[in-house]
Amino acid sequence: MFRVSIGSNVRNIPPTIFRRPSTASSLTSRNLASKATEKVHLETSGPVAEELAATGLWASSRRRPKPKNADKSRVNIVSEKLCDDIFSYVGSSLDRHKGCDILDIYPGAGLWSRKLHDYLQPRSHILMEPDADLYRSFLKPLLDRPNTTLVPASGLVWRELNSVLTPEYLPHQVVADAAQLSQRNDTLLVTANIAFHPKKRFLNFGSLASLVLYQFIESIRTSALFQRYGLVRILIWTRHDDKYGLLPKFMQKRKKLAVDTELSCDWVHEVCGREGPDSAWYVRDSNLDASSSLATWRRMQAAGFKIPNGRASEDLKEAQRVPESREAIVPDSIPPVFKRQFKDALDELETAHEEQIFTKDSDSYRNMQVYRWRANWEEKKHERMLRLLSGLDAITALYKSGKASAGEIEALEAEWEADVQSNPKGFINEFVTYKDNLHYYRQNPPLLHWDRRAYDPMVVQPEEFFPNVECSLLDIQPKNVHPLLRQRGPNSNRAGDCFDLIMSSMMHQSTIPMGQSLDALMPGAADYIIPRWKSIRDLDHGGVITKTRHSELSARLLNARQWEELLELWMEWPFRPEFHELIARTHDELAGDDNVLSTE
């Protein structure tokens, strides 16, 4: 038997915990590749960071050799002020967990673990730490407290995690029955730190953290891991760029993982994180972002959220400057604005030109004129986008009023489609992306969890972590999933398994019209499903009534309720293919599909 020799809080651990898989598929840190090209900054700020630096793990010396077998890619929270600000900001939402059991995965230096323990005063606190030898001295103050247990094992290896999900470690937890699985379990809280720098790769996945997030979300539907005890809340630290698949901020980043999250969670909140754009490639209308920030600020005011000093983002500061008399920013009432790098360059050149006039033959003057021409061209393009959107909205409003016949609506749709197609292909693609992002936002509630957020994330600084890599804290609250989504495996009707295949296939070609997408799965599916699919015509909740190529509904526009109703209708369809037939029909196109965790 293996034993950790720290006081009375240590338990005998079965040897099986330490038999890690010997294959290449092991999730242990030692067998994972990482990007060696990412630069690591090691500025120490505060006593915890200084103690970590003194271990020699990140910069060994002759006096203190590097600890053996410890994982130096792990990022630790080292700022007491950050932890204090978190509880000052959102602590009230955690009050329902006071006196609970805490399952703490990868606590590392333990600062966050200690602060969480202080706030919740749990009845038990289990720390799963694979690098126990390195972090033992950091964790000792916490382990000296009653009912706190260190398990020297990886909570990211599911066999090892499952060995702790037992009455021996969690005597107060009972595996939930069918009715309890749909209810929140506030007596258990899971926290984990899966922030790695450089990123860890695992097999074909670009990030181990993204894979873990995916499996945590998947466990909600299957009631696996700690979700066997009911709907268990998760607080998880991750690199800022590992959260995009789970919490996208615009349509272009919403892939299968995000849809699964919408189907399985009441919310995903970013409590704190890095300020700045989420992507160098994709943006959405800045008016839409401003509207989202203002709506969030109004919700914060109503709920009494007060962001700590120095933690507000620039977007939130802009929202706070909006007069109280203005209830909302309506992004579809003004031409869109997209943040482009050339606009910053133009602003700098014009400022310099005002201070000292450029000569007309200088490079600076020529560049300024080029940028001015481009800005003018984009302004006209954006006005054209708004005109097309307004035309489509007018058709929808006419349909809702009931003042036009079906033939008149079809004629107006054809005229609008011809207007769209008279533009260059590049413009059409930009317009459709603009329109679809607005479609996400104009639903009630907005489709993206980001646009529903109860509060704005606090801004963090690199030196609050060691190594100095900004991380995000995500708050994930599972919800009761649709009963059909739980139907998985050989002893079920396979509805959940069919749904995975259907969604993966449709998201693989997410911009084609729904009729084509369904018939690609099985001929005749569209004829049965679309006439009965009520939610796709619910105009207040993400429905669309227009049927032209560039206005009708496609897979990427479906919200959670529409996906659920699609599955209901699929299972009702008398001629639906058997599960093995559906596998055969989707196998070829999904064989090379790695978009489950993709954010590109």
136 CB neighbour count, 10 Å cutoff: 17
Per-residue pLDDT of 489-500, as tens digits, reads 888 999 999 999
Torsion angles phi and psi, residue 200, rounded to 5 = -95, 135
Distance CA 117, CA 192 (A): 14
Confidence check: pLDDT of 61 > 60: no
Model pLDDT, residue 168: 95
Q: In what helix (H) or strand (E) does residue 474 lie, and over which residues does it extend?
A: strand 471-478
Give the Å distances, CA to CA, from 185 to 175, 182, 253, 420, 592. 11, 9, 31, 51, 39
Model pLDDT, residue 280: 62
With a pLDDT cut of 70, the percent of the chain lying above it is 89
Mean pLDDT of 6-29: 37
Model pLDDT, residue 599: 47
Confidence check: pLDDT of 555 > 50: yes
Per-residue pLDDT of 413-450, as tens digits, reads 999 999 999 999 999 999 999 999 999 999 999 999 99
Give the Å distances, CA to CA, from 4 to 117, 132, 136. 21, 9, 10
Confidence check: pLDDT of 2 > 60: no
536 CB neighbour count, 10 Å cutoff: 22
* Nearest alpha-carbon partner for 145 in 111, 165, 122: 122
Please indicate whether residue 391 or residue 593 has the higher confidence score (pLDDT): 391
Across 539-573, b (16+ Cβ under 10 Å) vs e yields: eeebbbbbebebbbbbbbbbbbbbbbbbbbbbeeb
* Nearest alpha-carbon partner for 184 in 383, 384, 478, 421: 478
* Residues contacting 182, CB < 8 A, separation 6+: 231, 480
Q: What secondary structure does DSSP assign to 386-401, as a single string?
A: HHHHHHHHHHHHHHHH
Q: In what helix (H) or strand (E) does residue 127 lie, and over which residues does it extend?
A: strand 124-128
* Nearest alpha-carbon partner for 433 in 595, 252, 569, 588: 252
Model pLDDT, residue 206: 77
Q: Give yes or no for a contact between 590 and 504, defined as CB atoms under 8 angstroms apart.
A: yes
Per-residue pLDDT of 244-273, as tens digits, reads 889 999 999 999 999 999 999 999 999 999
pTM of full prediction above 0.75: yes
Mean pLDDT of 305-325: 93
Per-residue pLDDT of 319-363, as tens digits, reads 999 988 787 889 989 999 888 776 777 777 778 777 788 777 787
Mean pLDDT of 124-149: 94
Model pLDDT, residue 238: 96
Q: How many Cα atoms within 13 Å fall on the side-chain side of residue 63? A: 2
Mean pLDDT of 104-119: 96
Confidence check: pLDDT of 218 > 80: yes
Q: Give yes or no for a contact between 66 and 57, defined as CB atoms under 8 angstroms apart.
A: yes
The band of 37, judged by pLDDT with boundaries at 50, 70 and 90, is very low
**Coil, helix or strand at residue 270:** strand
